[in-house]
Amino acid sequence: MELFGKPVSRGIVIGTVLRYKPFCPQLQEEPLSAGTEARMLERYEQTRNKAGEELDALEKQLLDKAPDKAKIVAAHRDILLDPAIDEEIRTMVTGQNLSPDSAIARTYDTYAALLSKSKNKLMQERASDLLDVKGRLLRCWAGEPERNLSVLSEPVTVVADDLYPSDTVALDRTHVLGIVTQVGGATCHTAIIARSYEIPAVLGVEGAMEQLHDGQTIILDAEAGKILIQPSAQDLAEYRTKGERVAAQLREERAYLDKEPITQNGTRLETCLNVAAATAQELAGAAYADGCGLLRTEFLYLNSDHLPDEEEQYRAYKKVLTAFGSKPVILRTVDIGGDKQLTNLELPRESNPFLGVRGLRLSLARPELFRTQVRAVLRASVHGNLQVMLPMVGGLEEIREAKAIFAQEATALDRAGIPWNHHIQIGIMVEVPSIALIADLAADEVDFVSVGTNDLTQYLCAADRMNPAVRPYYQEYHPAVFRILGHLARTFSAAGKKSVYAASWGEILWPSPRWWGWASTSCP
Amino acid sequence: MSAACLAGAKRVIRHLDLAEATALAEEIQNLKTAAEIKRRLTDFAEKCASKKGEPDYV
């Protein structure tokens, strides 16, 4: 049996499953019985001490091997020992007869909510630290042992619904062979951590927690985005060989990072990089790439408990542009909807989100969101060579509407005397077959075209790539995919416009689009 | 991380015979099924990956 998901970090591993389920607290909502306050406060004090001991031990463990992470743990202890928070919890217990676990939850939630609304980025980040400490206290209160991924006794493939920063902060890298989660994609925190630790990972695997059990042997193929359950002896032998070959290949490839991308015939092929976050890990390759072929902006929306304001977006875009210097950076306006849902924005439920309000459709349906991003993009454009790409475009009307909003916001910036790059280019990402078939008309409206084959294949073949039942119909090698790729490149080239192929994780197609005339390829 | 993928892309490019690749692209345009295309591209990708050593032309 096989499960499928999105490969986000390369490699093939064979390992035993460790199902990771973080502690889920059951709070006591009823008021305390009369006369029990003192006993409850004493238990609260013991809980706090226990949490402090755990943090001390964790800090000690991390001091040598990961000093940065040790600092985060030390910050958690500072929060735990904060006298104002402690006093507030005690007052709730004695003054309002609240059980200490409810008092802990209310107090920490209140402070976290306040910090998350702060305009100061550092203060916002402290909100998640507060929630981590809250979780630790509530687990200690329940007498549950710590379940984390920092100390593992044997090599495992971690299977979880999702992994949070607190789960990965002390991840035992020597024993975590692979990662499988039920939610998430290329831009989520887990994907970024997996790539930076070079741990093979497949995310967005529906049913993983139900289908996979502790101790079960599985093959995680993060080259193809699949998990083989109960593999046969033949499967194990085949994938052991494949895994060794991929590992050797990855080791050998490292030496090529600073080389020029020139073919045996002496042709230089423009080679860019996809970027999914404004972090040092994601931007590590900027110096060695010809530009950023796809800056996914979803990270600002998906990994946060609030919608990003203009200033937060501006700072993130500026950071990416600065990393790439004068090289082109193609920023894709937010592509939410479909498999990317937000916790901080109520979106209407749709029976088929992939055919619903996603990508540019959502931006046009919620212009206040789009205009905020457009202003941030325009302001950031002075810090480098920024180009803008519109996702999920189906027709010319949408392109024109989006361009009109850009023009309106640009005029407003001019009036306010705020500088922006007047040579900014606007292009489209082709995923919807309707726009591909009128590529000649689209080329008159925009400056460049880009394509991502995952969604394009899905829409061309009318097959959900995450649905195992229609897996045989999702054909990334379907002749129609190659005809469309050739058609797009030829049409835009004839119009004197550029074409950029943005590769996805797990495809082996990536070098071939150049042969059909695509001017640039961007690596996942 | 993305840098690892970029390194992999550069390795393939530096071992790539563009004329051979272009001929393959034309051939693929005339293939009729996904299975045929997958087989040809996989063979080619494996051939590229199996090339050893750093080319000395640049």
Average pLDDT score over residue span A211-225: 94
| Residue A203 phi, psi dihedral angles, 5° rounding | -115, 170
Residue A219 identity (one-letter amino acid): I
Say what the pLDDT of residue A507 is.
54
Q: How many other CB atoms are found less than 10 A from the CB of residue A396? A: 15
Say what the pLDDT of residue A280 is.
82
Contact check, Cβ <8 Å, B1/A486: no
Residue A190 burial (C-beta neighbours within 10 Å; 0-12, 13-18, 19+): buried
Say what the pLDDT of residue A514 is.
59
| From A295-309, A408-422, A499-513, the region with the lowest mean pLDDT | A499-513
Mode of pairing for the β-strands spanning A385-390 and A448-451: unpaired
Confidence band, pLDDT 50/70/90 cuts, at residue B58: very low
**B55 inside domain:** no
Measure Cα distances from A419 to A328, A382, A415 in Å: 19, 7, 10
Q: Measured between CA atoms, how close is B51 to chain A, in angstroms?
A: 11
Encoding tokens for residue A224?
Answer: 């193809």
| From A42-56, A260-274, A385-399, the region with the lowest mean pLDDT | A260-274
Q: Measured between CA atoms, how close is A328 to chain B, in angstroms?
A: 16
Say what the pLDDT of residue A517 is.
63
**B40 inside domain:** yes
Say what the pLDDT of residue A508 is.
47
Confidence band, pLDDT 50/70/90 cuts, at residue A297: very high
Could you read off the pLDDT of A13-61 as tens digits, one per residue?
999 999 998 777 888 888 888 889 999 999 999 999 999 999 998 888 8
**Could you tell me where in chain A the CATH 3.50.30.10 domains are found?**
2-22+148-253
| Residue A221 phi, psi dihedral angles, 5° rounding | -105, 95
DSSP assignments along A360-388, one per residue: HHHHHHSHHHHHHHHHHHHHHGGGSEEEE
Contact check, Cβ <8 Å, A477/B41: yes
**Interface membership of B14 toward A (CB under 8 Å):** yes
Say what the pLDDT of residue A381 is.
98
CATH number of this structure's domain A37-141, picked from the four choices 1.10.274.10, 1.10.287.130, 2.70.98.60, 1.10.3720.10: 1.10.274.10
Q: Which residue has the higher pLDDT, B57 or A460?
A: A460
Q: Measured between CA atoms, how close is A9 to chain B, in angstroms?
A: 7
Task: Residue A134: name the closest of A113, A150, A117, A119 by CA.
Answer: A113
- Residue showing tokens 């790059």: A421
In sequence order, which residues have a C-beta less than 8 Å from that of residue A26 and are 6 or more positions away?
A: A142
- Secondary structure letter of residue A337 according to DSSP: B
* Residue A392, CA atoms < 13 Å, CB-side half-sphere: 20
User: Percent of chain A beyond pLDDT 70?
Assistant: 92
- Residue showing tokens 């293939």: B31
SS3 assignment for A279-314: CCCCCCCHHHCCCEEEEECCHHHHCCCCCCCHHHHH
For residue A428, is pLDDT > 60?
yes
Say what the pLDDT of residue A196 is.
75
CB–CB of A236/A249 below 8 Å?
A: no
* Closest-CA residue of chain B to A242: B46
Confidence band, pLDDT 50/70/90 cuts, at residue A224: confident
CATH class for domain A2-22+148-253?
Answer: alpha beta
Model ipTM over 0.85: yes
Q: A-B interface: how many C-beta pairs under 8 angstroms? A: 141
**Nearest neighbour of A512 by CB, restricted to B9, B34, B41:** B41
Contact check, Cβ <8 Å, B2/A523: yes
Could you read off the pLDDT of B16-57 as tens digits, one per residue?
888 888 888 888 888 999 999 989 988 887 787 777 766 655
Enumerate the residues of chain B whose CB falls inside 8 A of the CB of residue A512.
21, 24-25, 28, 41
Q: Which helix (DSSP H) or strand (DSSP E) does residue B37 occupy?
A: helix B34-50
Residue A73 identity (one-letter amino acid): V
Q: Residues 25 to 54 of B: which have CB under 8 A from any A CB? A: 25, 28-29, 31-35, 37-38, 41-42, 45, 48-49, 54
Could you read off the pLDDT of A230-252 as tens digits, one per residue?
999 999 999 999 999 889 888 88
Enumerate the residues of chain B whose CB falls inside 8 A of the CB of residue A511.
9, 12-13, 16, 21, 45, 48
For residue A148, is pLDDT > 80?
no
Q: Measured between CA atoms, how close is A290 to chain B, in angstroms?
A: 10
| From A177-191, A255-269, A416-430, A442-456, the region with the lowest mean pLDDT | A177-191
CB–CB of A44/A89 below 8 Å?
A: yes
For residue A290, is pLDDT > 50?
yes
Q: How far apart are the first and last CA of chain A?
A: 28
Q: Measured between CA atoms, how close is B5 to chain A, in angstroms?
A: 6
Say what the pLDDT of residue A289 is.
94
**Could you tell me where in chain A the CATH 3.20.20.60 domains are found?**
270-523
DSSP assignments along A110-142, one per residue: HHHHHHHT-SSHHHHHHHHHHHHHHHHHHHHHT
For residue A263, is pLDDT > 60?
yes
For residue A186, is pLDDT > 80?
no
For residue B1, is pLDDT > 60?
no
| CA torsion through residues A260, A261, A262, A268, sign | negative
**B32 inside domain:** yes
Mode of pairing for the β-strands spanning A12-20 and A217-221: antiparallel
CB–CB of A321/A380 below 8 Å?
A: yes
Could you read off the pLDDT of A366-377 as tens digits, one per residue?
999 999 999 999
**What is A270-523's CATH topology?**
TIM Barrel (3.20.20)
Say what the pLDDT of residue A523 is.
76
Q: Measured between CA atoms, how close is A478 to chain B, in angstroms?
A: 4
Residue A5 burial (C-beta neighbours within 10 Å; 0-12, 13-18, 19+): buried
For residue A511, is pLDDT > 90?
no
For residue A510, is pLDDT > 60?
no
- Secondary structure letter of residue A471 according to DSSP: G
Say what the pLDDT of residue A23 is.
79
Enumerate the residues of chain B whose CB falls inside 8 A of the CB of residue A287.
none
Contact check, Cβ <8 Å, A257/B5: no
Mode of pairing for the β-strands spanning A217-221 and A176-181: unpaired
* Residue A49, CA atoms < 13 Å, CB-side half-sphere: 6
Q: Measured between CA atoms, how close is B40 to chain A, in angstroms?
A: 10
Say what the pLDDT of residue A512 is.
55
Task: Residue A402: name the closest of A493, A332, A465 by CA.
Answer: A332
| From A130-144, A152-166, A352-366, the region with the lowest mean pLDDT | A152-166
Domain residues for B13?
A: 2-50
DSSP three-state, residue A66 = coil
**Could you tell me where in chain A the CATH 1.10.274.10 domains are found?**
37-141
Rounded distance between C-alpha atoms, residue A287 and residue A268, angstroms? 17
For residue A259, is pLDDT > 50?
yes
Say what the pLDDT of residue A165 is.
63
Question: For all residues of chain A together, what is the average pLDDT?
Answer: 88
Enumerate the residues of chain B whose CB falls inside 8 A of the CB of residue A249.
8, 49
Q: Mark A444-466 as b/e (b = at least 16 C-beta within 10 Å).
A: eebbbbbbbbbbbbbbbbebbbb
Enumerate the residues of chain A whose CB falls inside 8 A of the CB of residue B37.
477-479, 482
In sequence order, which residues have a C-beta less than 8 Å from that of residue A384 and are 6 or more positions away?
A: A321, A322, A324, A325, A326, A327, A329
Q: Which residue has the higher pLDDT, A443 or A489?
A: A443
| Residue A505 phi, psi dihedral angles, 5° rounding | -60, 140
Residue A511 burial (C-beta neighbours within 10 Å; 0-12, 13-18, 19+): buried
Contact check, Cβ <8 Å, B17/A265: yes
**Nearest neighbour of B14 by CB, restricted to A262, A281, A288:** A262
CB–CB of B25/A516 below 8 Å?
A: yes
Confidence band, pLDDT 50/70/90 cuts, at residue B7: confident
Q: How many other CB atoms are found less than 10 A from the CB of residue A280? A: 10
**Nearest neighbour of A275 by CB, restricted to B2, B13, B32:** B2
Confidence band, pLDDT 50/70/90 cuts, at residue A390: very high
Task: Residue A300: name the closest of A381, A371, A373 by CA.
Answer: A373
Count how many domains chain B has. Answer: 1
Encoding tokens for residue A471?
Answer: 């897996």
Contact check, Cβ <8 Å, B38/A266: no
